[in-house]
Chain A
Amino acid sequence: MSLDKATVAKIAHLARIKVPEEDQEHLAQELNKILGWVEQLSEVDTSGVQPMTSVVAQTLRQRADVVSDGGYPDTVVANATDAAEHFFSVPKVVE
C-alpha cells in the first residue's frame, strides 16, 4: 500500500490540520517509510485471535446516573479564547 500526495491532503483534512502543499510530498515519503516498516505485521498469524481491547482484565464499573459534578460555568469557560457569557464562541457555521 502506498500513500501519495493526494492521500496526505485527504488525511490532513480528516485530521483538520492544514498541511501546505510543499510539505505534502515529503510527508508522503515519511509516512510511506513508516507504513513499509509496519507492513511486517502481515507475517504474524493472527487467525482466531481476538483483538486486544482491554489491557487489564476487568469489567467496566457502573455508577448511578446522577449529576455528580458541575455548577461552575465560569471555571469551565475560563480557558476559552473566545467565551461570550457562559458560551464558547466559534466562527459562524450557518448562513
Chain B
Amino acid sequence: MTELTHLSMAEALDGLRKKDFTATELTGAYVAAVEAARPLNAFIVETPEIALRQAKEADARYAAGTARPLDGMPLGIKDLFCTEGVQTTAASRILKGFIPPYESTVSGNLFRDGAVMLGKLNLDEFAMGSANITSHFGPVISPWSGKDPAGASRKLVPGGSSGGSAASVAGRFAIAATGTDTGGSIRQPASFVGIVGLKPTYGRCSRWGIVAFASSLDQAGPMTRTVRDAAIMLGSMAGFDAKDSTSVDLPVPDYQSFLTGDIRGLRVGIPREYRVDGMPAEIERLWQQGIDWLKAAGAVPVEISLPHTKYALPTYYIVAPAECSSNLARYDGVRFGQRVEGKDLQEMYENTRAAGFGAEVRRRILMGTYVLSAGYYDAYYLKAQKVRARIAEDFQKAYALCDVILTPTAPSTAFAIGEKQDDPIAMYLNDVFTVPASLAGIPGISVPAGLGSDGLPLGLQILGRPFDEGTVLKVAEVMEKAAGPQPLPPYAG
C-alpha cells in the first residue's frame, strides 16, 4: 500500500477513475502514513473518521459514475481554515478548543469537489513566522532532517508559516495541502521541502472563514507535489464568494488547459534588484540555470528593474503588523477562545491576551499598535502604504516589458530549529524574494529546481500578472520538466 502515497494527485485521480484502487484504500494508506508521521508534529488534529467517511462517499460516486473533480483526494488542511465541527486554532493557545460552527469557503469548495480531510495542519502561530517554530503546539520537523527526523541531531525547519502543509506533502503523508500566504508562507516552505506552492492573485480565493492575519495580504493557495496538481487544486479552491468583500467576480478557467508546454516567445523578466548582497553563489547559479531552461524552451529572457525591491520587507513589517494588531483585537476572551479572569473587564482582557499569545505574535501586535498610534500613523503606516503603491507600480511597469518574472524563492535552503531565532530581522529576511509580490497582490509559484550543496531543496519563483495564474502554471510546468525528477526527502512515508 505504501506506493499509493507516492502518487501525484493527477495519477491518483486517474487510478480511481480506472478502478485500480478505491478511495477507501487510498485514504486508508494516508491515514496510516499520518499516524506513522506523528513524530514530525505536522498535524494538530487528525480526523481519520471524517476522512474514511468522505472516502466511502467518494467510492459510491465513482461507482455511480458521478465522481467530482477531487473525489477521494486525501488533503491536509492548514489549521488556519475554519472547519465545521473540527477544532481550529491557528496554532495559538488563545484559540485552543475553538470549534467553528461553519466551514471556510475554500475548504468547503474542496469538500464540495470530493476532497477528503486527513486533519488540521500545524503552522506558525496565526501564520506569523517563516520556520514553523512559533506554534503553540511545538515546531514541525522537516522530512529532510533524516530518515528518522525526530531523532536527527540537526532537526530542520520545513519553512513557514505553512510548515505542516509543506512537511506532510513532501513527506508523503498528505497528497496535497492547503496553505495561506501573507508574505511568502506558501512559497518559502514549498522551496524548503521541494514541493510546488502557489500563491494566487489577491482576490482569487475567498478569505472567508480563514483566520485573518493581515487582510490586505492573506491569500489561500495549493501546496502540491506537481505543477499539474496545483492547477487541479486551484480550480477547486478559486472562485467568487459574496461573503468576502475583496473576492473578485471572475470566471475560474480550466487551469490544466494552460499546461501546453509551449512558452515560445514568452518574455521572462529577470529583475536585477533580486541579486541581493550576500546571496549564496549556488542560488545565483540555480537562478541562471532556470533562465537557461526557459530560454531553451523558446522563452526570451528580458532584464527588468523593480527599483523599490529593497523597501518591500520594511514596508511589509509595518503593514502586516498594523493589520494584525487590528485583526487580533477580536481575541478578548468573550465570544470564543481562552479566557483568563481578572479583577475587572480591562484586566480580564489583558490577562487573556498575555496568556494566549506567543512571543512573536505579541511582538507584532505591539509593533502594529505602535505604528497605528496617534502621532506615528503618518510617519510609519501612511508612509508604508505609499511605498507599497510604488512597489505595485514597479510590477505594473515591468509587465509592459515581460509576461512573467523569474526569481529565486528563498535566500537559502532550510536551516535547523534553533537557528536564526535570536534576531527577528534575520528571520524576516527569509521572505525577501516573496514579500514584494504579496504587497503587489500578484500571483507567484515556487517550483523545486534542484538541491543546494547541503543536499537540501531549492525552489525558483515565477510571478505573473494579476489573475494570470494560467501563464504562471504553464511556465512552472516547463521548468518542472526541465529540472527533471527531484529526489525524495529521506523521510517519505
Q: Do A and B bind each other?
A: yes
The chain A residues found within 8 Å of chain B, CB to CB, are 1, 3, 7-8, 11-19, 27, 30-31, 33-35, 37-44, 46, 49-53, 55-56, 58, 60-61, 63, 72, 75-82, 88, 90-93
Cβ contacts under 8 Å, A80 to chain B: 334-336
Bound form: Cα–Cα A52–B371 in Å: 16
Given contacts A55-B202, A56-B201, contact A17 B357 (CB under 8 A): yes
Bound form: Cα–Cα A55–B201 in Å: 10
Given contacts A1-B379, A31-B370, contact A16 B390 (CB under 8 A): no
8 of the cross-chain contacts (CB-CB < 8 Å) are A7-B370, A11-B369, A15-B365, A16-B349, A31-B366, A56-B246, A63-B242, A76-B101
Given contacts A50-B389, A51-B386, A91-B341, contact A34 B424 (CB under 8 A): yes
Contact between A17 and B373, CB atoms less than 8 A apart: no
Whether B245 is near chain A, meaning CB under 8 Å from some CB there, is yes
Cβ contacts under 8 Å, A61 to chain B: 242, 245
Contact between A30 and B424, CB atoms less than 8 A apart: yes
**Chain B 359-389: CB-based contact to A (< 8 A → 1; otherwise 0):** 0001101110110010010011011111111
Cβ contacts under 8 Å, B242 to chain A: 61, 63
Bound form: Cα–Cα A11–B383 in Å: 20
Whether B98 is near chain A, meaning CB under 8 Å from some CB there, is yes
**Chain B 449-466: CB-based contact to A (< 8 A → 1; otherwise 0):** 000000000000000001
Bound form: Cα–Cα A41–B262 in Å: 41
Complex: chain A residue closest to B388, CB-CB: A52
Cβ contacts under 8 Å, B350 to chain A: 13, 16-18
Cβ contacts under 8 Å, B354 to chain A: 17-19
Contact between B344 and A93, CB atoms less than 8 A apart: yes
Whether B308 is near chain A, meaning CB under 8 Å from some CB there, is yes
Complex: chain B residue closest to A44, CB-CB: B387
Given contacts A15-B369, A30-B363, A61-B242, contact A56 B203 (CB under 8 A): yes
Complex: chain A residue closest to B438, CB-CB: A55
Interface residues of B in 226-261 (CB under 8 A from A): 242, 245-246, 248
Whether B339 is near chain A, meaning CB under 8 Å from some CB there, is yes
Bound form: Cα–Cα A50–B315 in Å: 15
Contact between B383 and A41, CB atoms less than 8 A apart: yes
B311, B318, B335, B386: the one within 8 Å of A49 (CB): B386
A12, A15, A42: the one within 8 Å of B383 (CB): A42
Contact between A14 and B342, CB atoms less than 8 A apart: no
- Overall SS of chain A's interface: loop
**Chain B 318-339: CB-based contact to A (< 8 A → 1; otherwise 0):** 1000000100010011111111
Whether B50 is near chain A, meaning CB under 8 Å from some CB there, is no
Contact between B337 and A15, CB atoms less than 8 A apart: no
Whether B392 is near chain A, meaning CB under 8 Å from some CB there, is yes
Cβ contacts under 8 Å, A56 to chain B: 201-203, 246, 248, 441, 466
Whether B351 is near chain A, meaning CB under 8 Å from some CB there, is yes
Whether B314 is near chain A, meaning CB under 8 Å from some CB there, is yes
CB distance from A28 to the nearest CB of B (A): 10
Bound form: Cα–Cα A40–B313 in Å: 11
Whether B2 is near chain A, meaning CB under 8 Å from some CB there, is no
Contact between B369 and A55, CB atoms less than 8 A apart: no
CB distance from A27 to the nearest CB of B (A): 7
Whether B317 is near chain A, meaning CB under 8 Å from some CB there, is yes
Cβ contacts under 8 Å, B373 to chain A: 11, 14
Bound form: Cα–Cα A27–B345 in Å: 25
Contact between A78 and B101, CB atoms less than 8 A apart: yes
CB distance from A15 to the nearest CB of B (A): 4
Whether B263 is near chain A, meaning CB under 8 Å from some CB there, is no
Could you list 12 further interchain pairs (A-B, Cβ under 8 angstroms) beyond the known A49-B386, A50-B386, A92-B345? A8-B366, A15-B366, A19-B366, A33-B424, A37-B317, A51-B389, A55-B440, A72-B101, A79-B335, A80-B335, A81-B334, A90-B345
CB distance from A91 to the nearest CB of B (A): 5
Given contacts A16-B349, A31-B363, A38-B317, contact A51 B334 (CB under 8 A): no
